[in-house]
Amino acid sequence: MLILNLDERRKLIQAGLGDFALDLIIKNVRVVNVYTGKVETGAIGIIDGRIVTPYAFDYDAEKVIDGGDRFAMPGFFDTHVHIDSTLVVPENLSHLIVPHGTTTMLADPMEIANVAGLQGFKALLNSIHELPYHIFLEVSSRVPTAPGLETTGGELDLLAVREILCWPEAVSLGELDPSKVLELRDEYLLKVEAAQTLGKICNGHAVGRVGKELVAYACGGLSDDHECVDYAEALTRLQLGMAVLIREGSTERNLDLILKGMVADGFIGSPHLMFCTDDKHPDEILEEGHIDFMVNRAIELGVPPVTAIQMATINAAKHFRIEHIVGSLTPARWADIILAENLENVVPSDVYFKGQHVASEGKLIVEPPAPEYPDWIYQTVEVKRGKQAEDFILAADGDSAKVWVIDLYPDQIINEQIQADLRVENGSVMPDLSLDYLKLAVVERHGKNGNIGVTFVRGFGMQKGALASSVAHDHHNIIVAGTNDTDMAACVRVIEEMQGGLAIAVGGKVLGKLPLPIGGLMSEEPVDDVIENLEEINDIYRSLGGTLPAPFMTISFIGLPTVPKLGLTDMGLVDVLEHKLISPFV
C-alpha cells in the first residue's frame, strides 16, 4: 500500500514514542535535510521500511549499522520518463538505475499504450510492486498522440484514462501537447478535469510555445514543462506558474543551457525546478549515470550541493503531491536512502529502498522479479508494405524536385525545416550523400493499412546503408533512414522477423540488429547484453560515416508529430506547429 493503514500508523506512532525496538538504525551519518536545507548529524531509525526519525540517538534497534560518517540523502527522482524508451523491461532496468541512487520513477508508459492500449499498459506494470524502486504513473493523456495524422496499434480513450487515474499509483495526467489545448478539444480538456477532480496534477509538453499561446496553454491546467531547451524558455514557464523539469536524455541535452543561465542570473533556489531523463538509452546510463549525473553536473555549474539534491528529491515529491510518502528522510516516509562519501560529487556507495539494502558500490545486490509477459505482447509487428525497395519510391517528374528536408539539431529533438533540390532518377527522388540528405520513411507496422510516409532528412552523416527502428515516437511504426531503397527494405524485413527492434544494413545485407520483441519496444535480455548489442550497432553506424552520438534515439524522435518543426508518420509529413499533413514537395 502507498498509504499507511490504521494498524501500520499506530505501530509507527508507537515506534516514535520508543515503545519497542526499531528494525534498523543507520548511525554516524550526516543527514542532508531537504526541508531545512542543512546537513545535520544524524542516526536514521527505520521500522517496516519507513523512517521513524533521522535523529534516532536514543532509540533501540534490532540491528545497528555504522554509516561511516557518510552523507545520507533521499533517493533520487526521475520526474518524467518513458521506461519503454530505455529498451529494457522495468525489472531489468533495476540493475541500471538503482545503483545510481534513483529510487523513484515518474513514468508515462505511452509507448506500450500506443502499441497495445490499456492491455499493454497493464502488462508492462505487472511487477510494479515487486521492484526495488518506485514507479508512480503519469497517466498517458494522448494515445494516439496525433489522431488523424498517424496510425497506432492501440488507444486510451477518456474512459480508460479516468480508470487509470483512479489507481493509487497514478499521480498525474501525462504530458499533453499544445494542439489538444489550444484547439479546445473536449476529450483532452475532460482528461484534465478528471485529473484535477482527483487532486492530481497535469504534466505539460509546451514545446516551442511563446506569448499568448503559452499563456493559453497554462490556462489549460498544465502544471509543468520538460521541453525547455534554454534558460529563457524555462523562465517564461516559471513566471506563469509552471514547474520546469530539466531534461537530460540521450538526444535532449538541456541541463547546461538552463542551469548556466540560472546560475548567471542568481536564480538557483526555486522549489519548482527538478530533473528528468525523458528518454535515455541504457548504454549512456551505464557510461555517465542517471539522475546522479544531473545532480553532479548541476553542482559543477555552480548550484549548491544541497540545492541540487533538493531538485532531485523534495522538489519533485512536492510537485507530484507525494511528499508524505517519499522525497525526504523524515518520519513516515519510505526509507529510500543514498549513502555517499562526498557532497561535492555524489557517488552512491550504498542505496536502501524501503529500508532494504539494495545496491552497493555500483551494483544491485538484490534480485529483481523475473520478467513475465503475456505471449501476445511478443507478436505486435505486422508489415503489409515496406519489405521491397520499390515501396520507398518518392515519385516525381523531370530531372529534379524541390523537397522539404528535416534538418536535425545536435543534442536536441527539435528540428529545422529546410528545402533541397534533389535529382530524379527513373521517376524517383534520390538522396544526395554529398550534402547528407538521406531518404526517411515511416512504415505502418500494426497490420492495419500498409501506409508509408516518405521524405528526406539531414544530419545522419551515413555514406552508405540504412538504419531502422520500431521504436518511433509516439506511433511506434518502423522508421528507417537510408542512402538507398534496397537497404531500407532489408532493415524493415529483419525488424518484422525479430518482431521489433533496431537494425542496420548495407548492400541488402543486415550487418547488425538488436531484437526488441516486447511490444516491438523492449528486450527482456540482461541489461549488459542489450548494451553490448546496442554498442555494436552504433559502431557499425559510425563505420558507415555516421556522426550522431545516439543515432537510434535520434531516429526514434523524427517521427514525432508534436515536436517542431516537422515530423514524419506513416501518413506523411507533418507541419507540427500547424498540426497538419503537408506534401514532401515544396
If asked whether residues 347 and 449 sit together in one domain, one would say: no
- The fraction of the chain above a pLDDT of 90, given in percent, is 90
The per-type count for the chain, helices as H runs and strands as E runs, is 16, 28
Q: Amino acid letter at 97? A: I
If asked whether residues 449 and 341 sit together in one domain, one would say: no
- Across 484-508, average pLDDT: 98
| CA angle at 182 for the pair 178 and 188, rounded to the nearest 5° | 75
CATH of the domain at 133: 3.20.20.140
ω into 474 cis (within 30 of 0): yes
Nearest-angstrom CA–CA distance, 110 and 508 = 33
pLDDT of residue 1: 56
Nearest-angstrom CA–CA distance, 82 and 354 = 24
Examine residue 370 and state whether it is found in any structural domain, yes or no: no
If asked whether residues 285 and 339 sit together in one domain, one would say: no
The torsion angle over the Cα atoms of residues 252, 254, 255 and 257, rounded to 10 degrees, is 150
Write the DSSP symbol of residue 83. G
If asked whether residues 300 and 410 sit together in one domain, one would say: no
Nearest-angstrom CA–CA distance, 328 and 354 = 12
- Across 309-316, average pLDDT: 98
* β partners of residue 175: none
If asked whether residues 422 and 556 sit together in one domain, one would say: yes
Confidence of residue 581 (pLDDT cuts 50, 70, 90): very high
85-102 tens-digit pLDDT: 899 999 999 999 999 999
113-122 tens-digit pLDDT: 999 999 998 9
pLDDT of residue 145: 87
CA 212 to chain centre: 28
pLDDT of residue 416: 87
CATH of the domain at 45: 2.30.40.10
Examine residue 369 and state whether it is found in any structural domain, yes or no: no
State the DSSP H helix or E strand holding residue 113, giving kind and residue range, or none if neither.
helix 110-124
pLDDT of residue 533: 95
Domain tally, the chain: 3
If asked whether residues 381 and 353 sit together in one domain, one would say: no
For the chain, how are helix, strand and coil distributed in percent, rounded to 5?
Answer: 30, 30, 40
Give phi and psi for 530, each to the nearest 5. Answer: -65, -45
If asked whether residues 310 and 352 sit together in one domain, one would say: no
Contact 471, 515 (CB under 8 A): no
If asked whether residues 392 and 418 sit together in one domain, one would say: yes
pLDDT of residue 430: 97
Examine residue 434 and state whether it is found in any structural domain, yes or no: yes
Examine residue 574 and state whether it is found in any structural domain, yes or no: yes
If asked whether residues 171 and 241 sit together in one domain, one would say: yes
Nearest-angstrom CA–CA distance, 102 and 277 = 12
Q: Which residues constitute the domain of residue 194?
A: 75-327
Examine residue 522 and state whether it is found in any structural domain, yes or no: yes
If asked whether residues 158 and 291 sit together in one domain, one would say: yes
CB neighbours of residue 235 within 10 Å: 18
Contact 526, 447 (CB under 8 A): no
Confidence of residue 410 (pLDDT cuts 50, 70, 90): confident
If asked whether residues 417 and 504 sit together in one domain, one would say: yes
If asked whether residues 98 and 53 sit together in one domain, one would say: no
pLDDT of residue 411: 67
201-220 tens-digit pLDDT: 999 999 889 999 999 999 99
State the DSSP H helix or E strand holding residue 46, giving kind and residue range, or none if neither.
strand 38-47
Contact 174, 156 (CB under 8 A): no
Write the DSSP symbol of residue 518. B
Examine residue 365 and state whether it is found in any structural domain, yes or no: no
**b/e per residue, 522-544, with b = 16+ CB within 10 A?**
bbbbebeebbebbbebbebbebb
43-88 tens-digit pLDDT: 999 999 999 999 999 999 999 999 999 999 999 999 999 988 899 9
Sequence-ordered list of residues with C-beta below 8 angstroms from that of 239, at least 6 positions apart, any chain: none
pLDDT for 287 beyond 80: yes
Examine residue 366 and state whether it is found in any structural domain, yes or no: no
CA 494 to chain centre: 26
Examine residue 368 and state whether it is found in any structural domain, yes or no: no
Residue with cell 525545416: 417
